[in-house]
Structure formats: structure tokens, C-alpha cells
């Protein structure tokens, strides 16, 4: 089994948190579907790997879960963001934006700018 690089793992967690932030309470399939929709096929994850990640986030206290009934009347486990998760999302979003901005600046530099 090939381990996913850490960046991707970290990003996936961030995506899960953001998704839950956007749509509120959601079950695993819904989260996977939404991530797929937003990222297109760019992020071709094995959707099953989402579940260990959800468990980890739950252990860390960022999300909470409970059984409920889905839109087509099936028993499903629903995940929602906790207060701690919301805070975490905020900090991580800020960090991510900062990093992205710095990287973007590096990519935008042209040789003549440095002269």
C-alpha cells in the first residue's frame, strides 16, 4: 500500500473541515461527493480512505458524529464541525492562504524584476 504524501493528507483534512463548514451536518458519502465536485477529478482519492481520516479528526475533537437517517431513508453516520474544528479551520485557512500567497509571489517573479 502506497502511503499518500503528507501534504495531500493534510489537505484532505482541510477539505473535509471546509466542506462541513459549508454544508453543515453531512454523512461520509456526502462529504466525498462534495470534495469530488469541487476539486473535479483532479483529486482522485480512494473514497474509502476518508473514513480513517474522519475517525482521526473525531479523535482530535475537530468534528463529532452521530447516527441519523439519510435523505433516502437509510441509516447513516452524520459528521458535523465542532467549535474546536471551526477554530482549527480558521487558523489553517489563514496559514494556507499565507503559504499560497508566498508561493504565488515566487512563481510570479520574472528575471527582470530581480535586476
Partner 1 sequence: MKSLRRFFIRLANFATGQRADQRLQDELAEHFAFQVDENLRAGIPPTEARRQAAIKLGAAEAIREQHHAEQSLPFIENLLSDLRYAVRMLRKSPGFALIAIATMALGVGATTAIYSVIDATLLHPLPYPNPAELVHLEDYLPGVTAKAVGISIPELRDLQSSGIFQYVSIYGFGSVNLTGSAQPARIAFKPVTPAYFTVLGVNAQLGRTFNPNDATPGFNLEVVISDGLWRREFGADPHIIGKTLRLDNDVYHVVGVMAPGFRDEGRSTEERNTELWAASNFAADPAPPPLRSNRLRLGAIARLKPGLSIAAAQSRLDALVSSLAKQYPEDYPVQAEWTVRLIPLSEALVGNVRQSLLLLFGAVGLVLLISCVNVANLLLARASARGREIAVRQALGAARMRLLRQLLTESLLLFLLGGIAGFAVLFCARKFLLQLVPESLPRLNDISINWSVLAFAIAASLAAGLIFGLAPAWMMSRLDLTSTLRQEGRGSNGSQGRSRARHILVISELAFSLVLLVAAGLLLRSFWDLFQVQLGFNPDRVMAIQTWLPVPNDPATDPYRTATQEAVLLREILRRNRTLPGVEEAAIGNLDSLPLGHGRDDLNASPLIREGIELRSNQAPPIDTAIVSPEYFHLIGITLVRGRLFSGHDLEDTPSVAVINQAAARTYWPGQDPLGKRIRLDPTKPVWTSIVGITADAHTESLADDGTPQLYLSIYQRHAKDLAIFLRGQLDSGAIPAQVRTQVQSVDAELPVFHAETLDDVLSNSLSVRRFSMEMVALFAATALLLAALGIYGTISYLVNEQTREIAIRLALGAQRSNILKMVLRQGLSLAAAGAAAGLAGALMVSHLMAGLLYGVSPTDLTTFAGVTLVLTTVALAASTIPALRAMRLNPITTLHSE
Which residues of this protein are in contact with partner 1, per CB under 8 A?
A: 1, 27-29, 32-33, 46-49, 51-52, 55-56, 59-62, 70, 72, 74-77, 88
- To the nearest whole angstrom, how small is the minimum distance from the Cβ of residue 24 to partner 1? 18
Measured from the CB atom, the residue of 72 and 108 that comes closer to partner 1 is: 72
Q: Tell me how far apart the alpha carbons of residues 60 and 45 are, in angstroms, rounded to a whole number.
A: 22
- To the nearest whole angstrom, how small is the minimum distance from the Cβ of residue 53 to partner 1? 8
Measured from the CB atom, the residue of 83 and 109 that comes closer to partner 1 is: 83
Measured from the CB atom, the residue of 18 and 85 that comes closer to partner 1 is: 85
The per-residue DSSP string of the chain comes to: -PPPPHHHHHHHHHHHHHHHHHH-SEEHHHHHHHHHHHHTTSS---GGGHHHHHHHHHHHTSEEEEEEE-TTS-EEEEEEE-HHHHHHHHHHHHHHHHHHHHHHHHHH--HHHH-
Measured from the CB atom, the residue of 74 and 110 that comes closer to partner 1 is: 74
- To the nearest whole angstrom, how small is the minimum distance from the Cβ of residue 22 to partner 1? 19
Amino acid at each position: 500500500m502506497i502511503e499518500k504524501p503528507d501534504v495531500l493528507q493534510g489537505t484532505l483534512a482541510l477539505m473535509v473541515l471546509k466542506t462541513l463548514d459549508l454544508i453543515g451536518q453531512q454523512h461520509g458519502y456526502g462529504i466525498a461527493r462534495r470534495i469530488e465536485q469541487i476539486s473535479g477529478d483532479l483529486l482522485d482519492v480512494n473514497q474509502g480512505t476518508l473514513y480513517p481520516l474522519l475517525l482521526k479528526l473525531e479523535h482530535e475533537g475537530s468534528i463529532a458524529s452521530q447516527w441519523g437517517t439519510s435523505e433516502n431513508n437509510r441509516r447513516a453516520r452524520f459528521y458535523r464541525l465542532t467549535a474546536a474544528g471551526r477554530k482549527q479551520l480558521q487558523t489553517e485557512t489563514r496559514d494556507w492562504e499565507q503559504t499560497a500567497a508566498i508561493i504565488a509571489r515566487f512563481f510570479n517573479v520574472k528575471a527582470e524584476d530581480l535586476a
